[in-house]
Amino acid sequence: MMGDKTFEKNVKKAMNVISGMLTKATKLEKITIPEYMTFLTDIQGACSSNVMNDHKTSEGTAMYEALTKFLRRFISGEAAKISAAGTPEDRLSEYASSWTVFKTFAKFTDGVCRYLNTHWVKPILENNGATAIAEPVEDEKPIFYVYALCMVIWKKVMFVEMPDVITRAALVVMKADRDGVQDAQMDLVKTVVESLVEMGIEFKKHEDDMHMITEEKEEEVDENKLTEADHQMLQTYVRYFENAMLKDTTDYYTAESARAKNKDIIPYMEQTQKRLDEEANRSWHYLHDKLSHVHVQNAVEGAFITARLDMFKAHIRNLLESEQYYVIGLMYSLCSRVEEALKQLMADFTAFINEKGRAAIDKIPPTSNDPNLYMEHVLSTHSTYLDMTEKAFKNDPGFRKAFDEGCALWINKNNITEKGNSLNKSAEFLARYRLLADTSVNEDAETGMITRLKEACGHEYTRVAMRMFGDIRTSKDLSRQFKEKNGDSLQMDANMQVLSTVVWPYSVTYSFDLPREIQIVTDSFQCHYSTVHQGRKLTWAHHLGRAELAAKLSPESKRKYTFTVSAQQAVVLLKYNHADSLALSHIRDETALPDKVLQTVLASFIKVDLLKLPKGVTFDSSLPDTTEFSLNTKYNSKRFKVDLMKLQTAVKGDDGEAMKEQEKMAKSVEEDRKMLLQAAIVRTMKMRKKLKHNLLVTEVVQQVADRFAPKIAMVKQCIDILMEKEYLKRAEDDRESFEYIS
């Protein structure tokens, strides 16, 4: 065994072997092939002793010790230059330059020392039961492969012995970038990050051992798609950079959130989203994205959302009431990041849908028993807020469920269902709407619908609907049998619906005279029904009937129209088979329609120009009985099939009140559209900062195109409004351009 003096002599000898070549390598000077081969031979000669006998004092140990001393001396010199730099940017610049050289040097050194790795390091590691490094035994230092040794000493000198110098400099540059400082040198931060990740090789398993592990069991990955081995190798990055970076991030955004908390909620949310996007971009380009992205996002969310949860909760309902998809979508995007905020948003959305639905049904007169009117309100409201769910909430399954729960509340409990103290009233109206209005697809579809309702809501909920469906099915059979028996004698195709008074809450509120061609059919069916069901009495509810009339309005006309009409409209129009013009008194006497009903029928025809009044006469309820109503033989419509029933419903009641309601609705729609346009203008200008007038108008029109087609004048008006509110101003150097006022 060699003594300490002999070992020191061997170390000095090894230093003489390596210093010249490695010094040239640190300067990236050219090395000739003969020099390279000589160096390899010297390394091999220095490591030729049997390391398994006593590696502590072998010549290989001396070579390893010499290499360690050389690396420390060189790296310490580089560290001194970095410490002497004046500013954080200068220190990072020196570090980046030194690291670039050192990484190349480390690869070269590992290559020329491969004999040392193979014949001295590897046997020691295998003998100690390790595969990448040898853990210290008693007072021994761990042994590394040469490249890992380079990284370990670099870490010790640069980060362990100079705590906070390089990391703090990197964090100063990151803060400058967050502050919006132009040309903040984030590429230098990226170099620090990459170097710390590279230093994780200290904890990397040897490739042979990795192969053996892989054959036994494939490593599991976490939510960031990192394995346990990945986390081991990222220890250095986490310890010497990420921990400090996350603390700075939390402190930075906690302070910013505190300064911004007095802002209106929409600008606050926009600032939050902007910061989240910036940090996502920063993580992607400059940090270890797989590991740090989620951690940084959590820090920003904690400062802006979790810490301000009460503020978010307080504004959720108001934002929902705005019904602006951009604003609601932004709120959803932020709340979805924090579970408590998301739960609150879902609960408030359910309550919001319930309130909006009940408010829609409240517009129906409490005495109404019209399934069409009820279902129109139900379907319109459902469609409106389903659209919000799909667009603002991205059709999120959780919000679809919240939407369905909200709908279930108001559909089953509203002023109509509460009036009759019947929770199955909606099911009854749905059945009446689909079956009487003939909107059902087929019997299988109706059976399936009722089955699903029964499974979801119970037998009692669908009891009435099931009986209604049974009546409709029986009526179809009766109509078929009637037509088979009397088809040749009938002048028209007719379908009768025989409905049980116990189930269908209809009553005959008034009667009127049917035209002869219709009366013949109804009388024939009455006889047929009496034959099939002796002892039962039919009460005709003609006011609930509807018809399709084929019309050719003049002998010269080549166009034929099909008018979908109510029974009341049908009896009036059929009178014009025998005359082109009829007096009001004649129509009333011939049809026996109540005055109010007759007025709505005539008004519906006047509105579409199917009937005409004498020149200079305007339709109102006080027209004299001698007023002539003439058939417009020049009537023209783009559609061959025209639904006139909706027009009769539209003109029911006081025309003045209807007009006021329409004007009120139109004004409300216009105001909503202006708010949407203003939001689009502000969003565009915040992004562009400066934009020409025509380009701004074009972009805004494109943004709202999926909602409505705005008039250019309205866009210009909204621009003027935002200029008055000091969101925009005209550019001083170009009066055709606008600038955003931040």
Please determine, for residue 543, whether its predicted confidence score (pLDDT) is greater than 70.
yes
Per-residue confidence at 656, pLDDT binned at 50, 70, 90? Answer: very low
If we measure between CA atoms, which residue out of 402, 397, 304 comes closest to residue 351?
402
Within the chain, all domains assigned CATH 1.20.1310.10 are found at: 2-212
DSSP state of 227: B
Predicted confidence (pLDDT) per residue in 554-600, tens digit = 877 778 889 889 889 999 999 998 889 999 999 999 999 998 889 88
657-740 CATH: 1.10.10.10
Per-residue confidence at 1, pLDDT binned at 50, 70, 90? Answer: very low
Predicted confidence (pLDDT) per residue in 109-126, tens digit = 999 888 888 888 888 888
The predicted structure's pLDDT at residue 475: 79
The sheet with strand 641-643 has its strands ordered as 546-551, 561-566, 641-643
Architecture of domain 545-651: 2-Layer Sandwich (3.30)
Residue that the structure tokens 């010549």 belong to: 59
Per-residue confidence at 432, pLDDT binned at 50, 70, 90? Answer: low
Report the share of the chain in percent with pLDDT over 90: 33
Predicted confidence (pLDDT) per residue in 667-723, tens digit = 666 777 888 898 889 988 888 888 888 889 988 888 887 767 788 888 988 998 888
Contacts of 143 (CB under 8 A, 6+ apart): 64, 121, 124, 125, 128, 133, 134
Q: Are 683 and 326 in contact (CB under 8 A)?
A: yes
Taking the C-alpha atoms of residue 400 and residue 406, their distance in angstroms, rounded to an integer, is 10
The predicted structure's pLDDT at residue 396: 93
The DSSP result for 310-337, as a single string, is: HHHHHHHHHHHHHT-HHHHHHHHHHHTT
Q: Are 497 and 472 in contact (CB under 8 A)?
A: yes
Predicted confidence (pLDDT) per residue in 600-639, tens digit = 899 888 888 889 988 888 888 888 999 999 998 888 888 8
Predicted confidence (pLDDT) per residue in 11-30, tens digit = 787 788 788 888 988 888 88
Q: Which two tokens stand for residue 498?
A: 């025989």
If we measure between CA atoms, which residue out of 142, 337, 326, 176 comes closest to residue 252?
176
The listed range with the strongest mean pLDDT (32-41, 259-268, 462-471) is 259-268
3-state secondary structure of 632: coil
Please determine, for residue 227, whether its predicted confidence score (pLDDT) is greater than 60.
yes
3-state secondary structure of 742: coil
Per-residue confidence at 420, pLDDT binned at 50, 70, 90? Answer: low
Backbone angles phi, psi at 496, to 5 degrees: -100, 140
Predicted confidence (pLDDT) per residue in 340-368, tens digit = 999 999 999 999 999 999 999 888 876 66
Please determine, for residue 523, whether its predicted confidence score (pLDDT) is greater than 70.
yes
Contacts of 304 (CB under 8 A, 6+ apart): 253, 257, 271, 272, 275, 276, 334
Please determine, for residue 535, whether its predicted confidence score (pLDDT) is greater than 50.
yes
The predicted structure's pLDDT at residue 652: 52
Sign of CA dihedral 358, 360, 366, 371: negative
Within the chain, all domains assigned CATH 1.10.10.10 are found at: 657-740
DSSP strands (E only) in 605-695: 611-612, 628-631, 641-643, 690-692
Average pLDDT, the chain: 82
The predicted structure's pLDDT at residue 35: 83
The predicted structure's pLDDT at residue 138: 40
Taking the C-alpha atoms of residue 90 and residue 96, their distance in angstroms, rounded to an integer, is 10
The listed range with the strongest mean pLDDT (138-147, 276-285, 411-420) is 276-285
Within the chain, all domains assigned CATH 3.30.230.130 are found at: 545-651
The predicted structure's pLDDT at residue 441: 44
Please determine, for residue 215, whether its predicted confidence score (pLDDT) is greater than 70.
no
If we measure between CA atoms, which residue out of 325, 296, 455 comes closest to residue 384?
325
The predicted structure's pLDDT at residue 93: 96
Q: 158 vs 203, which has greater pLDDT?
A: 158
- The mean pLDDT value for 161-174 works out to 94
The DSSP result for 336-362, as a single string, is: TTSHHHHHHHHHHHHHHHHHHHHHHHH
- The mean pLDDT value for 503-524 works out to 79
2-212 CATH: 1.20.1310.10
